[in-house]
Structure 1
């Protein structure tokens, strides 16, 4: 390198003094005397005759000093490009396949009345009504070749309840998609929290899903409530709770793992974040549930969102929400987790009643929350300007109050969805900051008759293979929403005999919502689930459950499709 060669002649000159401790650049006759600071100073102080002027001498000295420094830098640079010792080398990152694990879905237990005061945590519950019933419905898909993964419904502590498939087989080598079959759970009665589990098959996560449905036709908790059997996680957002008079909100935390979980709660209300003693360090032992009465932490909140964070074992979380207006039951629901905070949230399966009937009932005292509404939670420090779009069967519908709302930071903002024509809708919300969204769906427009309520959580974009269990009884409707352009959605019935029937398709235009009422049977066999796939532009789906002749209602966003093998970058150092 040229910079490295600059100082070489002085170091190798025959006249240089090479004794230990000597500097070859200052040896007599080396020609480098003026390159040292001392020599340069002497030359400037007393220039001999015939030498350069002091100004030119100073310039020459500085140039020489710069040359020496550059030479030293060149030597360092050259050393940096030299081969490094083998012990400090980094091996380039490679992608390693990580096999997917088993499928685990935790189903909350039956809705129950609180005994005694609502203050505090870990409440006792009274027996449910005489007509109350809770059932779990689920389906597990086989690998190509028809081999089902080992799967079962168990109690939270691992005690087996019912076997779905024994497992242990090997997929066929030449089998195609037409050989896929299903293991089904067609409405198994439960009296506590359960776990729907399916083993991984050849490193692939199985496609499995379950739904728990509660129904009652008498008592304070009459109505229906449904919840997905959700995979445990360490970070969950739940929105839609209320702790005002006549509203009961109980957060149920379930730990299906073998590791203790320490849970902390962040609470957001109408006026901002709530600092509540007793909301941190909640221990949930393995194989157990822990119930927290939210009114004991944040009383008098018309809208309450809960951020659940778990250290150690992951947990499943659901809020049992019930309403009692005086002596009139106002409904029961399980509020499940929605999508994590994001700049865009989409909710579908929103059922809105006649605008006139809603206006009449919400004008009655104590019925302010008997109409449809959107809850926007902004966890960050900045307000969110949220644009709300409502898409129905015939396209976008205008909101009477306008489509742009400012949601306060660290608080929950309610946006009414009343005033639009009756029907099924998809709600698209977007902002410049991240937020959480959920929607309240209500049935019943009479103040002296029992009504029901459900909360729709925000969902994720549909993919290639979603298992959607459909509990038997009542009206069951698949609701699909597409925001832009078009999407093609296929849905294949899964019947009680384990067969996956031929798929039907729906071509859904952008900016619309399509509803498909489901049959009870296909070819004489009960329909237990559907396998749903979408192609084209972004589509979203939900299952809407109702009961003819009653005001019962529940709405469930589709669970994400099973993930296959993932590849992660692995860097090795030594």
Structure 2
């Protein structure tokens, strides 16, 4: 009896370890138990293709914040798995499904069983949306949410990649003044309640008391928190969301109005974890661009910012040595002459994101803006979907590391997809015209590369603009064999 109990305990530990490594992915299969001390026939841990994956979309982000005006509207959500050949090792023609579901009822919104065919739905209620891939359509799953509002002061475009949940999320965005409102949307895709704390850094340091309160998020639900209530009048906020008891997805939705003039709307998604070597990809040349840096540590940071543009690397003198006080944020203007990535090196770990604005040239100069967070390098497959954006200009922006990079780019649409091999020079950015693509897939072949997709256009002469960073899709998970051991 004691031996049996020992087997159960060891097996449970191994399976829990595997589940923690997988996160929102799952690998099915049998569990093998060897006799005590036996190793023959049981492989070491290995990486295998996932057969279930889930991404979390915030849903209609302009609803549900206590103290803020609700803005009615509809978001379009799309989910898809890449077509055969994109994910290395995936069998061709395998059966599977991609499904969109809504909130606590798990109401089915849309489903597809074809690779590279979009499951799309419109959502107008304040509920979390989950995109789930199963079996052959789980590896490489991507999902994107689009808010587009025209004609009044609530106008703007927000292109929001749906995300794998995490227990630790950094969000960079927002500003001061009564005309800017920010909502932190925290979504819980799990079956158990989760508690989150929200810490805010600002120009003068940490906002006192912000992290002292715990916010419960029920299962398959979301909470919308007003950043203005936590950090009133902070001009350069950076938000740190930490979950206890589970994992969450979080975005920072921002609206800016000056008087009766709409300046735009955008969602800030998860920035790369604090690091000493960061890259913000896909910063379009625009009239006004700012880089926001945050130092979460206890020691002042000395940072250098380089422009990684289409013509190579530039080092503006004013960005050569920037001091970021401990526990504080810093906004610095940048002026790239071309589309560029921003390379940030520092002696202390930092968090970073860039803000760019486009305005109409006549009238009251209404406009739109975009936040582009520092992004990790793409390791496997990354995708962005572009539903309902006909007539917009879509561009893929790829920024390489210190060595040359090669990627395979696949642009999907109503007809046959277009596949190309793209070379990116060291410390520079390459721009790929995405045409009328409804899906953009990137697979690294050689070197280190980061990327984003920008969408621009105009409504009656007023610009709309958003940028979606490329992040790794769920492709593989850790498979851990279970062995019997002696008590």
8 Å Cα contact 1:108/1:318 also seen in 2:
yes
1:381 shift after superposition: 0.4
Cα root mean square deviation, aligned: 2.7
Partner of 1:195: 129
Partner of 2:475: 563
Does residue 251 of structure 1 match 2:175?
no
When normalised by structure 2's length, the TM-score is 0.82
More strand, by proportion: 2
Does residue 465 of structure 1 match 2:381?
yes
1:533 shift after superposition: 1.1
1:336 shift after superposition: 0.8
* Structure possessing the higher radius of gyration over alpha carbons: 1
Deviations 1:429-472 (A, max 9, x none): 01121111111111116582111111101112123422221233
1:542 shift after superposition: 0.4
Partner of 2:270: 337
1:297 shift after superposition: 1.0
When normalised by structure 1's length, the TM-score is 0.70
1:492 shift after superposition: 1.3
How do residues 85-96 of structure 1 correspond to structure 2 at under 5 angstroms? 95-96=44-45
The counterpart of 2:435, out of the listed 507, 511, 519, is 519
8 Å Cα contact 2:95/2:113 also seen in 1:
yes
Provide the C-alpha distance between the structure 1 equivalents of 2:360 and 2:347, rounded to a whole number of angstroms.
Answer: 36
Provide the C-alpha distance between the structure 1 equivalents of 2:317 and 2:340, rounded to a whole number of angstroms.
Answer: 15
Partner of 1:529: 439
Provide the C-alpha distance between the structure 2 equivalents of 1:404 and 1:556, rounded to a whole number of angstroms.
Answer: 29
Partner of 2:226: 293
Partner of 2:16: none
Provide the C-alpha distance between the structure 2 equivalents of 1:573 and 1:96, rounded to a whole number of angstroms.
Answer: 20
Partner of 1:384: 301
Partner of 1:545: 455
8 Å Cα contact 2:360/2:463 also seen in 1:
no
Change (3 A) 1:491 1:312: same
Provide the C-alpha distance between the structure 1 equivalents of 2:332 and 2:481, rounded to a whole number of angstroms.
Answer: 44
The counterpart of 1:373, out of the listed 284, 290, 296, is 290
Deviations 1:11-69 (A, max 9, x none): xxxxxxxxxxxxxxxxxxxxxxxxxxxxxxxxxxxxxxxxxxxxxxxxxxxxxxxxxxx
Partner of 2:174: 241
Does residue 126 of structure 1 match 2:70?
yes
Partner of 1:282: 215
1:229 shift after superposition: 0.7
More helix, by proportion: 1
8 Å Cα contact 1:135/1:189 also seen in 2:
yes
How do residues 162-241 of structure 1 correspond to structure 2 at under 5 angstroms? 162-165=110-113, 181-185=115-119, 187-192=120-125, 193-201=127-135, 206-241=139-174
Deviations 1:174-194 (A, max 9, x none): xxxxxxx43323x53221444
Partner of 2:18: none
Provide the C-alpha distance between the structure 2 equivalents of 1:95 and 1:570, rounded to a whole number of angstroms.
Answer: 10
8 Å Cα contact 2:96/2:138 also seen in 1:
no
Partner of 1:22: none
1:123 shift after superposition: 4.2
The unaligned stretches of length 5 or more in structure 1 are 1-88, 115-120, 167-180, 359-370, 521-526
8 Å Cα contact 1:264/1:310 also seen in 2:
yes
The unaligned stretches of length 5 or more in structure 2 are 1-35, 84-89
Aligned-partner SS, 1:459: coil
Provide the C-alpha distance between the structure 2 equivalents of 1:124 and 1:488, rounded to a whole number of angstroms.
Answer: 46
Aligned-partner SS, 1:401: helix
Does residue 508 of structure 1 match 2:424?
yes
8 Å Cα contact 1:488/1:507 also seen in 2:
yes
Does residue 327 of structure 1 match 2:260?
yes
1:546 shift after superposition: 0.7
Change (3 A) 1:573 1:412: farther
Aligned-partner SS, 1:565: strand
| Bigger shift: residues 317-326 or 99-108 | 99-108
Provide the C-alpha distance between the structure 2 equivalents of 1:487 and 1:97, rounded to a whole number of angstroms.
Answer: 27
Partner of 2:13: none
Query: Which is bigger in relative contact order (C-alpha 8 A, separation at least 6)?
Result: 2
| Bigger shift: residues 389-398 or 374-383 | 389-398
How many corresponding residue pairs? 435
Partner of 1:57: none
1:409 shift after superposition: 0.8
Provide the C-alpha distance between the structure 2 equivalents of 1:568 and 1:430, rounded to a whole number of angstroms.
Answer: 37
Does residue 141 of structure 1 match 2:58?
no
Provide the C-alpha distance between the structure 2 equivalents of 1:502 and 1:551, rounded to a whole number of angstroms.
Answer: 28
Change (3 A) 1:111 1:311: closer
8 Å Cα contact 2:278/2:374 also seen in 1:
yes
Aligned-partner SS, 2:228: helix
Provide the C-alpha distance between the structure 1 equivalents of 2:298 and 2:211, rounded to a whole number of angstroms.
Answer: 24
8 Å Cα contact 1:140/1:208 also seen in 2:
yes
8 Å Cα contact 2:295/2:351 also seen in 1:
yes
